[in-house]
Structure 1
């Protein structure tokens, strides 16, 4: 696939002038027909779910009725997303650490062309490698790709991550789990070490989400994490190494 491979596009932006500007810029790329538009989050979700007749979504971050991030799980699994944003600091950081493409408003013809080349390359070969994954901070948002699609998850909402061989189970403070194709070792290389630590072999815990610690007379300590129904037994050795980093331990 190359930059002239046909790609069907959806435009999702709550500002008609912004959509008109993207339409104007895309006119220089006739191989990218626009197959639909939406101006608010309700209409966007309906259009995204209606039919997977699109390959590319231009998605505004700030929409009437919600955030463009909220729509990521509704995008067809094989479709690419180019986010549109107006210099929103935290949004730009989320895009950069997750290697997701985005356009700063007002978009330019040159930057749009660059983005389209990147999308075409990703469609042909998979995500473009930009070297070692960037280190994350506790205020970052990570793009998690599970069987039900992709979604942005704040690191603060991750209670624990458990190894499942080449996969890992991301356990959220909401009580929901997401199985992702990423090893625990890869997570450990990215996550802030002062916030996430192994409490036993194969399990990383968010130390900020520890609610209570049960210390039985016999056996290992049991760590209760916010949002998880059952405590997790900790390794005595590993707990001894990190206990001074846990408030109130």
Structure 2
């Protein structure tokens, strides 16, 4: 396995390197003190199997760095603060390690990585049939029915697929995702931050100033901004 360690604390990087050295299948460990250095290293050295990312770093957090990693890079967040755990898993992290690091806990993370790598299949076999999409979860990849997705929402450098009560995060921007041929014609952008599946729109309520409020089949409500009011004719 090839592992990238990103942490602005030299002592933390050194300890992770020592702990990783105890695993015979860890063939290479790369280090970076900040996000720009990490991205430059990846461009030079190629892909890694795992990135261990400190959350709080000068020049860009580990959460921001995760969004900029090459697609498919598994990542684990490291920090001294447990309150970041939920956000980490929302962003598709493989695991979450608290400082100070312990050999047993890291071994659990690597075991989870080995399991995922063993189950990995070629991308060609992951091609979803028309009307479906693969999303990342804590345990791997899951295929969802796009007809059940009620709306797409921009979330930092991610897009959230909303299937109430479930939601799944996909790395990228809303604009780029809507240009994908698999999604063409399935969603209408009604706001800079979200696009709606017209099949789930139940009520369209006009508002002052050319805006509108949409109520979806789940009861969720979305705003149609004035800049996208031309889509209202398609919704009606």
Give TM-score scaled by structure 2 length. Answer: 0.57
Aligned to 2:56: 62
Partner of 2:128: none
Unpaired segments ≥5 residues, structure 2: 121-136, 143-152, 164-169, 184-193, 203-208, 214-222
The structure with more helix, counted as a fraction of residues: 2
Contact 2:5 2:13 in 1 (8 A): yes
8 Å contact 1:224–1:231 — kept in the other structure? no
* Other structure's SS at 2:211 match: strand
| Distance change (3 Å), C-alpha of 1:213 and 1:66 | same
SS across alignment from 1:107: coil
What is the CA–CA distance in structure 2 between the aligned matches of 1:143 and 1:125, rounded to whole Å? Answer: 30
- The answer as to whether partners of 2:3 and 2:29 remain within 8 angstroms in 1 is yes
Give 1:152 deviation, angstroms. Answer: 4.9
What CA distance in whole angstroms lies between the structure 1 residues aligned with 2:36 and 2:195?
A: 39
CA distance in 2, matches of 1:15, 1:181: 44
Which position in structure 1 is the counterpart of 2:198? 200
CA distance in 2, matches of 1:34, 1:114: 19
Q: Is 2:15 aligned against 1:21?
A: yes
Q: Which residue of 2 aligns with 1:232?
A: 231
Q: What SS class does the counterpart of residue 29 from structure 1 fall into?
A: coil
Cα distance, 1:129 vs structure 2:
5.7
Determine the structure 1 residue equivalent to 2:25. Answer: 31
Structure 1 Cα separation of the partners of residues 25 and 66 of structure 2: 24
The change in CA–CA distance for 1:41 and 1:197 in structure 2 (over 3 A counts) is: closer
Secondary structure of the corresponding residue to residue 8 of structure 2: coil
Q: Which residue of 2 aligns with 1:3?
A: none
Q: Is the 8 A contact 2:77 2:96 kept in 1?
A: yes
Corresponding position of 1:135: none
The residue aligned with 1:45 is 39
Residues matched between the structures, number: 176
Shift of 1:78: 3.9
Is 2:116 the partner of 1:122? yes
CA RMSD of aligned residues (A): 4.4
Is residue 100 of structure 2 the alignment partner of residue 106 of structure 1? yes
Q: Distance between the aligned counterparts of 1:44 and 1:84, measured in 2?
A: 15
Q: Please say if 1:75 is aligned against 2:102.
A: no
Quick one: distance in 2 between partners of 1:143 and 1:114?
33
TM-score, length-scaled by structure 1: 0.55
Shift of 1:178: 2.4
The answer as to 2:181 corresponding to 1:153 is no
Which 10-residue stretch deviates more, 117-126 or 16-25?
117-126
For 1:158-177, what aligned pairs fall within 5 Å after superposition? 172=174, 176-177=175-176
Q: 1:62 is paired with a residue of what secondary structure?
A: coil
Deviation digits for residues 76-126 of structure 1 (CA, Å, limit 9, x no counterpart): 33432111122152x311223455212111121111011001111122225
**Contact 2:5 2:53 (C-alpha < 8 Å) held by counterparts:** yes
